[in-house]
């Protein structure tokens, strides 16, 4: 047994670091690839979930952040900034603490899940709630990073995608080769681009014999890559991917086209159904945006895009605990009973 050392140490030779780069890590990565029995039965495929909610701050963002923050420290930054729908800000706040950097975050007011807000605040980030969208926040942070001594750690920072590509390495390392199909939620479009980079790199170096078809899924009210034009007022219950003008637009299109894949829309209703399916049939609690990958896989199955027996990986990007409000509002409200075992028995219909 050898303990996991965090993804920079595990994949050092494939990342933009040298012996002198100060490694800022919370031992992210090394997340489980869980067989999804129910989803496999529904699709006739061999489906696995890459459970990114088990990273240190509860989302895949930690992969990009360990590299981005390490490089920021190496380059002499004293402060970092990001725009976020919640997960990037949670991760930036935690890694900034680890590095001794100040951290500022801009979020769309009222549009981020409570757990994510809690994370940024508890780690001591300077959090500003902007009366606008994520896209507005990103534009503002780009301007701030241009004009003031503060380093941008959104995925327009290329170090972020370098870190995030390691998820594809882990999948190939676990399965022995690349899957046939990879399903992933798409918001600002950094992650689909990063996975494609990782899969290509492993195939180019002969570690994998093939590359998967990349299937990306946006929420239908926030699907600029599907419509081919920015969406001015994106709407979806999946606040993490409520984005109208993705920064990695071209890279995501390249991932789609080079892999023979597709980027499709799934409705909020499909997302909510997949969220419930994962929780109640697989025992995996993800956030709404994460369920878009599974909602999309079920849709692709209906469209006849899959061949029975194919190996499929769905990335589930964030932890369900991030958004307790949604989980509770969708469940029946619990009964209150007196201190009485018989009352419990009758409430549970045991008696
Ligand atoms: N899933 C979750 C849980 C996310 O938080 C995000 C992005 C995505 C999927 C989409 O990934 O942007 O690389 O296409 N969240 C960003 C944030 C925008 O600020 O936390 P993407």
Q: pLDDT by residue (tens digit) across 228-259?
A: 999 999 999 999 999 999 999 999 999 999 99
For position 166, what pLDDT does the model report?
A: 99
For position 60, what pLDDT does the model report?
A: 98
How far is ligand 1, taken at its centre, from the CA of residue 337, in Å?
Answer: 41
Whether ligand 1 lies within 6 angstroms of the CB of 138 is answered as no
For position 351, what pLDDT does the model report?
A: 83
Cα–Cα distance, 189 to 248 (Å, whole number): 5
SS3 for 303? coil
ipTM (interface predicted TM): 0.99
In order, the DSSP letters of 254-298 are: HHHHHTT-EEEEE-HHHHHHHHHHIIIII---B-HHHHHHHHHHH
How far is ligand 1, taken at its centre, from the CA of residue 36, in Å?
Answer: 22
Q: What is the pLDDT of residues 182-197, one digit of tens each?
A: 999 999 999 999 999 9
CB 31 within 8 A of CB 50: yes
Query: Which atom of ligand 1 is least distant from the CA of 322?
Result: 3
Cα–Cα distance, 72 to 43 (Å, whole number): 44
Average pLDDT estimate for 107-125: 98
SS3 for 20? coil
How far is ligand 1, taken at its centre, from the CA of residue 61, in Å?
Answer: 8
How far is ligand 1, taken at its centre, from the CA of residue 101, in Å?
Answer: 23
Q: pLDDT confidence of 116, banded at 50, 70, 90?
A: very high
Torsional sign, CA 37, 43, 47, 53? negative
Q: What is the pLDDT of residues 136-163, one digit of tens each?
A: 999 999 999 999 999 999 999 999 999 9
Which residue's alpha carbon is at the smallest distance from atom 12 of ligand 1? Answer: 188
Q: What is the pLDDT of residues 30-65, one digit of tens each?
A: 999 999 999 999 999 999 999 999 999 999 999 999
């Amino acid at each position: 047994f050898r303990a996991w050392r965090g993804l920079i140490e595990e994949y050092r030779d494939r990342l933009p670091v040298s012996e002198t780069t100060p490694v800022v890590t919370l031992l992210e990565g090394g997340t489980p690839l869980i067989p999804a029995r129910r989803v496999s039965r529904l699709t006739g495929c061999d489906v696995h979930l890459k459970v990114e909610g088990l990273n240190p701050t509860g989302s895949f963002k930690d992969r990009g952040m360990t590299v981005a923050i390490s490089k920021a420290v190496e380059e002499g930054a004293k402060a970092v900034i990001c725009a976020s729908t919640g997960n990037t800000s949670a991760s930036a706040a935690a890694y900034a603490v680890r590095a001794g950097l100040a951290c500022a975050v801009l979020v769309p007011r009222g549009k981020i899940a409570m757990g994510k807000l809690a994370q940024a605040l508890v780690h001591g980030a300077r959090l500003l709630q902007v009366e606008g969208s994520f896209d507005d926040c990103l534009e503002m942070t780009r301007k701030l990073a241009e004009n003031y001594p503060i380093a941008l750690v959104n995925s327009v920072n290329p170090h972020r995608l370098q870190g995030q590509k390691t998820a594809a390495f882990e999948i190939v390392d676990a399965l022995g080769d690349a899957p046939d199909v990879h399903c992933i939620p798409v918001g600002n479009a950094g992650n689909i681009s990063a996975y494609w980079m990782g899969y290509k790199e492993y195939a180019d170096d002969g570690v994998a014999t093939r590359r998967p078809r990349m299937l990306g899924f946006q929420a239908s009210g926030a699907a600029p890559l599907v419509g081919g034009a920015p969406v001015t007022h994106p709407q979806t219950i999946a606040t993490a991917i409520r984005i109208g003008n993705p920064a990695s637009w071209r890279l995501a299109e390249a991932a789609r086209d080079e892999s023979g894949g597709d980027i499709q829309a799934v409705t909020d209703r499909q997302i909510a159904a997949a969220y419930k399916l994962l929780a109640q049939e697989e025992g995996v609690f993800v956030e709404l945006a994460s369920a878009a990958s599974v909602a999309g896989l079920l849709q692709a199955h209906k469209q006849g895009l899959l061949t029975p027996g194919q190996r499929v990986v769905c990335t589930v990007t964030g932890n369900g605990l991030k958004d307790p409000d949604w989980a509770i509002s969708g469940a029946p409200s619990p009964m209150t009973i007196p201190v009485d075992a018989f009352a419990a028995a009758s409430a549970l219909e045991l008696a």
